[in-house]
Amino acid sequence: MNKGTVIKSTGSRYLVKYNDKIINCTLRGKFKTKGFRTTNPIAVGDNIEFEITDDEFTGLIYKISERRNYLIRKSTNLSKETHIIAANIDFAFLLISLVKPVTYQMFIDRYLISCEANHIKAVLIFNKIDLYNQEELQQLNELINIYSKIGYNCIPVSVKENININAIEEQIKNHTIVISGNSGVGKSSLINRLQPGLKLKTSEISDSHEQGKHTTTFAEMHKIGEGYIIDTPGVRGFGIVNIENDQLSNFFPELYSLKQLCKFNNCTHTHEPDCAVKKAVETGKISISRYRNYLGILADDSAKYRQDNYL
Ligand SMILES: Nc1nc2c(ncn2[C@@H]2O[C@H](COP(=O)(O)OP(=O)(O)OP(=O)(O)O)[C@@H](O)[C@H]2O)c(=O)[nH]1
Ligand SMILES: [Mg+2]
Ligand SMILES: [Zn+2]
């Protein structure tokens, strides 16, 4: 049996990197992921075992190695089905833009919760700073302030104007990275900037809606220097998977770190007396926008299943 890594998946076919070759593989039989339903049993980044079939460049996948971690989201409206975005990653980059298109803070928070729950270090990259006006630059500063204070690396960049791209290279080094974000924020453009030879397809955002056009349609892993970066299709929302309400606050680092100081050890930081989190919100130690998003996700359980409410 040969061991390889999935670098692209198009539903029924998988491109597998094996030494310096690319093998076009299919699955042998049915693969099920334990514990939940998913639209894709094998994701980009999975290490698999396969056998070469008729010719040198096609193969059959027999086995997936255990995943170190994976990034997962709900796939469609009201669906219980989930989609594994990528597996075995060192950092999850979230590419954000404050204009054309606007990334909402609720989207950022849902993404971060998913990363925390799956033990993946997230990095927030704010792109298109060349387009920001005074007000948007102020908003940028506020967001960087909020998120860097609670431990997330924040990198403001302009892919277009080549500003601060070296900070991203510094973060990639020899790691494996997945990059996510709304359609049109510049994920593929960033990868082209890091490795111009790739010539990934990009397109202008639409004039009327200022939204991306879903240009990238399949996740794919690309080599960048000594590391790897997985480009993914843009998404509108990031549905949280398998997190119960009583666990939710554990995935907000600033809430989690105060939990011990609440009067009740099962405090949900909503109505309870002597709640250290509520006190910290009042004194401004915890960001009100983060706390509001926490309450929003808690209160509207069904929001976990509704795309429109992810914003
Ligand atoms: N002004 C400006 N435009 C940018 C910047 N980065 C990317 N763009 C433009 O944004 C548009 C969308 O870029 P893409 O790279 O296709 O976006 P994407 O995130 O890959 O989109 P999907 O594949 O649809 O998810 C393109 O027209 C880019 O030229 C930037 O820093 N500043
Ligand atoms: Mg793209
Ligand atoms: Zn509390």
CB 194 within 8 A of CB 168: yes
What pLDDT shows up at residue 146?
A: 98
Report the pLDDT value the prediction gives residue 188, as an integer from 0 to 100: 98
The residue segments making up the domain with residue 31 are 2-64
- pLDDT at residue 28 in the model: 86
Residues of the chain with confidence (pLDDT) below 70 = 32-36, 75-79, 300-311
Same domain for 91 and 190, yes or no, is yes
CATH code where residue 253 lies? 1.10.40.50
Domain annotation covers residue 126: yes
Q: Which ligand is nearest to the CA of 279?
A: 3
Put residue 36 in one of left, alpha, beta given phi > 0 → left and psi -120 to 50 → alpha: beta
For residues 33 and 83, membership in a common domain is answered with no
* Residue from 158, 159, 230 to probe ligand 1 pocket by mutation (most atoms less than 8 Å from CB): 159
**Cβ 210 under 6 angstroms from ligand 1:** no
Model-level pTM?
0.94
Atom of ligand 1 nearest to the CA of 201: 16
Q: Is residue 240 included in any domain, yes or no?
A: no
User: What pLDDT does 122 receive?
Assistant: 98
Assign residue 128 the CATH number of its domain.
3.40.50.300
Any ligand 1 atom below 6 A from CB of 183:
yes
Q: Within this chain, do residues 155 and 58 fall inside the same structural domain, yes or no?
A: no
Instruction: Please list all protein residues whose beta carbon sits less than 5 angstroms from ligand 3, which is an ion.
Output: 262, 267, 269, 275, 277
Tell me if 239 is assigned to some domain. Answer: no
311's CB contacts (< 8 A; 6+ apart) are 104, 106, 107, 236, 237
Last residue of a domain, one of 162, 197, 231: 231
Residues 154 and 91 in one domain: yes
Ligand 1, pocket-test mutation among 93, 188, 189, most atoms within 8 A of CB: 189
The reply to whether 237 falls in a domain is: no
pLDDT at position 78 is: 59
pLDDT at position 80 is 75
The pLDDT value given to residue 153 = 98
CA atoms within 13 A on the CB side of 285: 11
Distance 228 CA to ligand 3 centre (A): 40
pLDDT in the model for residue 171 = 97
Q: Is the dihedral of CA 247, 248, 253, 254 positive or negative?
A: negative
Distance CA 53, CA 49 (A): 13
Nearest to 4 by CA among 31, 42, 55: 42
Structural domain total, the chain:
3
Q: Is the CB of 215 under 6 A from ligand 1?
A: yes
Q: Is the CB–ligand 1 distance for residue 234 below 6 Å?
A: yes
Of 155, 179, 202, which is best to mutate to test ligand 1, by the most ligand atoms within 8 angstroms of its C-beta? 202
The residue ranges of DSSP E strands in 38-137, in sequence order, are 47-52, 58-64, 70-74, 82-87, 91-97, 121-127
306 and 179: one domain?
A: no
Please indicate, yes or no, whether residues 57 and 155 belong to a single structural domain of this protein: no
Contact 163, 130 (CB under 8 A): yes
198, 231, 264 - which closes a domain: 231
pLDDT at 32: 67
Closest CA to 251 of 123, 115, 85, 69: 115
pLDDT single digits (tens) 138-189 = 999 999 999 999 999 999 999 999 999 999 999 999 999 999 999 999 999 9
Say if residue 265 is in the same domain as residue 303: yes
Is residue 132 included in any domain, yes or no? yes
237 C-beta closer than 6 A to ligand 1: no
Q: Are residues 112 and 8 in the same domain?
A: no
- Same-domain status, 221 and 294: no
Token pair of 63 as six digits: 């086995």
